[in-house]
Amino acid sequence: MSEIVTRFAPSPTGFMHIGNLRTALYSYLLSKSQGGKFILRIEDTDQVRLVDGAVDVILDTLKMTGIEYDEGPDSDGGHGPYVQSQRLPIYKEYAEKLVESGHAYYCFCTQERLDSLKDEKGIGGYDGHCRNLSAEEIRKNISDGIPYVIRQRMPDEGKTSYTDVVYGEVEIDNSELRDQIMIKADGYPTYNFCHVVDDYLMGVTHVVRGNEYLTSTPKYCLLYDAFGWKRPTYVHLPLLMGKDAGGNVSKLSKRHGAVSFQDLVNAGYLPEAIVNYIALLGWCPKESNQEIFSMDELKSNFSIEGLSKSPAVFDYEKLKWFNSEYIKAMPVDKYEEKAVPILENLCADYINKKKLASLLHTRIAYFGEIESFISFVTNRLDMDSSLYTNKKNKTTPENCREVLEDVLPLLESVEDWNNDNLFALLKEYSASKEKKAGAVMWAVRIAVGRQAITPGGATELMEVFGKDESISRIKQALSELS
């Protein structure tokens, strides 16, 4: 079997959409699972849509996700340039070859004439007006400086078909195909033409892309046939859907939330968790009970047979689960590198950020969630005295007030303020008063945390707040209970 060569060919028009990232990932995994080659090519021929810095976004995204290309703009493997705007002479040369063979022709139609072919809704296709110009007419028009495009000449009859790995046989009547533009009047090629030339010259054997190209591919097959080139293997991926708040499913878009890789990273999702989740949106591993995969495991487990033709739904709740599992598995130092700076921006200086980060380690699903978890730290929340009532520990506002009055002077006398000392003090107090330790801890935790659910117990919270803030909160609680 010859070497598998795949490619990812994004347009530098902004952030990396989740769908594009999935295409890059599957293309990469397909080649690497077979020991093949993966190429990065920048398709920037649509100059109007270019966004400054977008190429850097593409490169940074691939680096962050661990998708490593063998050839690309900064890694020449003998097939460069890898940026299409630097390959214009190549496209012109190959377009002219098709003109010579009769598979393409010069078209001198003005924009006004093309617009006149459209109906009131702006719908209409080219009518082949310049298909049969004589050689003399063509020479005269060119010498007169009349702008022209080069169009692909589609067959007048018959059908064109190809076999897609995922969707099987795809066939289209040639009568439905319009004579598409290959080279525009400004000398730039269209995507429909130049990607075929590039894929052939770069030795691409398998083309992986979204299924929106499923019915366009016959046009590309005709180009391969016109040149006498072997067609690549086509792998069209299932549609990527999103679910809105009402549970309705439609094509993934901004209305479903963050849809770019960078948006998700900015929200506090880990790149490796995003990659893991996206890998399962349209592909099913042989070991169907396994969900957590490293990149190396994805490369060794990926198989083209596992791809599905059914639409895949991007579920943010499922992504949160994946991300929470990755956060839980993070070494403490790596976790703190991300969590502590966030807390430093949100919390007062007296807050023990490392201790607070530790309490949150197994509780947050993504780092952007930290702020919502610590509202009780950044503000003294209003609270109802009914929170002191706990059936399990048999506490009431009245007996909690008694506990707080007793422990306040004990806490004020503590010099070495840490969780172990505070815990021992409250345990000793509960034993001396023959009170349930749980009841004592509940009273203190509610007084300090000011809410029913907190990411730590009474003494852990007091260590987070420090002595002065903890005592201040207990005094406030006593004032409210009096």
Which amino acids are annotated catalytic? 254
The answer to whether 185 touches 147, Cβ cutoff 8 Å, is yes
C-beta neighbour count of 416 within 10 angstroms: 8
Name 336's Cβ contacts closer than 8 Å, sequence gap at least 6.
354, 357
Q: Which of 372, 367, 341 is nearest to 354 (CA)?
A: 341
CA distance 105 to 142: 13
Q: Which of 224, 223, 54 is nearest to 153 (CA)?
A: 223
Alpha helices by DSSP H, 284-416: 295-301, 316-328, 332-346, 353-360, 370-373, 375-378, 397-412
CA distance 252 to 20: 12
HEC sequence for 269-316: CCHHHHHHHHHCCCECCCCCCCCCCCHHHHHHHCCHHHECCCCEEECH
Q: Give the side-chain half-sphere CA count within 13 A for 432.
A: 10
The residue with tokens 């909160």 is: 473
DSSP per-residue letters across 216-236: THHHHHHHHHHHTPPPPEEEE
Question: Encoding tokens for residue 329?
Answer: 């598995």
- Bridge partner list, 171: 161
SS3 content of the chain, % helix, strand, coil (to 5): 50, 15, 40
Classify residue 181 by its DSSP letter: E
* Amino acid code (one letter) for 322: F
| C-alpha distances out from residue 190 to 9, 12, 51, 131, Å | 14, 15, 18, 19
The answer to whether 392 touches 438, Cβ cutoff 8 Å, is yes
Length of the chain: 482
Name 376's Cβ contacts closer than 8 Å, sequence gap at least 6.
449, 450, 451, 454
CA distance 461 to 98: 75
Q: Give the side-chain half-sphere CA count within 13 A for 409.
A: 3
CA distance 9 to 7: 6
341 prior amide bond cis, ω within 30: no
CA distance 47 to 12: 10
